[in-house]
Amino acid sequence: MSDVALRMEHVYKSFRKGEVFNSLRDLVPALTGRMFERRDLTGQDQREFWALQDVSFEVRRGEAFGIIGHNGAGKSTILKILSRIMKPTKGTMVVNGRLSALLEVSAGFHHDLTGRENIFLNGTILGMSRREIESKLDQIIAFSELEEFIDTPVKRYSSGMYARLGFAVAAHVDPEVLIVDEVLSVGDFMFQQRCMDRMSSILKGGTTVLFVSHNLKAVSELCSRAMLLKKGRVAVVDDTDSVVRHYLKDAQDLSADDESQPVYISKVKVCDELGERSTFESGQRAWIDVEMTARDFVEKLTVAISLVDERQYELFNTTTERLGHGRISLRPGESYRCRFELSLNMAHGTFYLGVGIRRHDIQKVYGPEAPSATVFIGSTSAVRGAVNCFPKLVESEIVPDSRLKEPPVVLEAPSS
């Protein structure tokens, strides 16, 4: 057994853009037409669209590998090629071990069948044997939390129930290589949390996981390494933290390119003692380095930073002015740098750091205050919610029922 679970080497994939004949009625006249007028063959080639170009990467056995990228970057195409649903136009790929792809967890459902029947159907589709499903049936039903409705046809399920049942089945397939596409975006918060837990335990069992998601938090919690795809090409392959930073820098570069603004944010960096990073412990100290550069003469500026949570709820903001720094004036070409220090007292989750430039006396905002960085706070088992108040359990006791006739057992008071 080799050390590599998945490998792609120089994979290209093209799709045809232009007209595709999908009925004989269109095809026959087109073919006869083609016989009489010779078409330009080079014109034909231009209608090809390259979804993937020269993609190479390797995933080691037991590793969790993430793929991120904007819509249309080619993430799903990679997964479809790896799961053999599509063939690459050029290039080779290797998969070592039993592969299971969760591209659409409820794809195999039939709406007229009951939940139980669908567990068997979908389980078989995902590659489990009948005996395997029978032995895991109770676990699957319990995981889906659909005990009451398991003998109801799934057409009466809500979309959340549907997705829960789908993931419950999928989560109990024991593959050696697992490919996951966006399936964690279903269900409510609690269910998502359990999905994440299940994924972590699958990983601990030694399964190789290839994970594609827009949920940067999920990617950085699960995956140690990741790849950033840009327009069908591999932009970076590195540890997840730095790939996520690349991804966000891309978004930031887009807004810095807007030349109509007289001043723009030229750099945002989140770091701790060891350097730039995006994952922190709850309560840890972080430094935020901001640099703004002027294109024109600007005056009376202040730099504002804010933290919003995943639901875009603002948790915190501050400005250089409120922190006691005077208003800033810059000449063309000049830059201004500052460093904020924050203690990250959020409980756990993903938070977006917004950086903006404002001029308060004329209520002007320069450029959009797009999220410039993401801060992940790792979960601490003790705290749930938005804020970490650093709780400690200082006293606890059981108080007996005072209505009982028997004299209560007197607990010895803690000696102080």
Binding segment for other proteins (CB under 8 A), chosen from 122-130, 271-279, 295-303, 337-345, is: 122-130
**Phi and psi at residue 231, to the nearest 5°:** 50, 45
Under 8 Å between Cβ of 107 and 183: no
Find the shortest distance in angstroms from Cβ 126 to other proteins: 7
User: Starting at the edge strand that comes first in sequence, how are the strands of the sheet with 90-95 ordered?
Assistant: 48-60, 4-16, 90-95
Q: Which of 10, 21, 139, 315 binds other proteins (CB under 8 A)?
A: 21
Contact flag: residue 135 with other proteins (CB under 8 A): no
CA distance 377 to 350: 6
Evaluated on CA atoms 338, 339, 340, 345, the torsion sign reads positive
Find the shortest distance in angstroms from Cβ 106 to other proteins: 9
Contact flag: residue 15 with other proteins (CB under 8 A): yes
Q: Which of 1, 2, 19, 25 binds other proteins (CB under 8 A)?
A: 25
For β-strands 371-377 and 279-280, DSSP reports them as parallel
Q: Which of 1, 2, 19, 23 binds other proteins (CB under 8 A)?
A: 23
Find the shortest distance in angstroms from Cβ 210 to other proteins: 14
Contact flag: residue 87 with other proteins (CB under 8 A): yes
Contact flag: residue 134 with other proteins (CB under 8 A): no
CA angle 104, 5, 83 (to 5 degrees): 30
Contact flag: residue 117 with other proteins (CB under 8 A): yes
Residues 64-83 that bind other proteins (CB under 8 A): 80, 83
Q: Which of 3, 31, 48, 104 binds other proteins (CB under 8 A)?
A: 104
> What is the DSSP track for 233-281?
EEEEEEEHHHHHHHHHHHHHHHHHT-TTSSEEEEEEEEEETTEE-SEE-
CA distance 273 to 286: 8
CA distance 385 to 378: 13
Find the shortest distance in angstroms from Cβ 85 to other proteins: 5
Residues 217-256 that bind other proteins (CB under 8 A): none
Binding site for other proteins (CB under 8 A): 15, 20-25, 27, 80, 83-87, 101, 103-104, 107-108, 110, 112-113, 117, 120-121, 124-126, 129-130
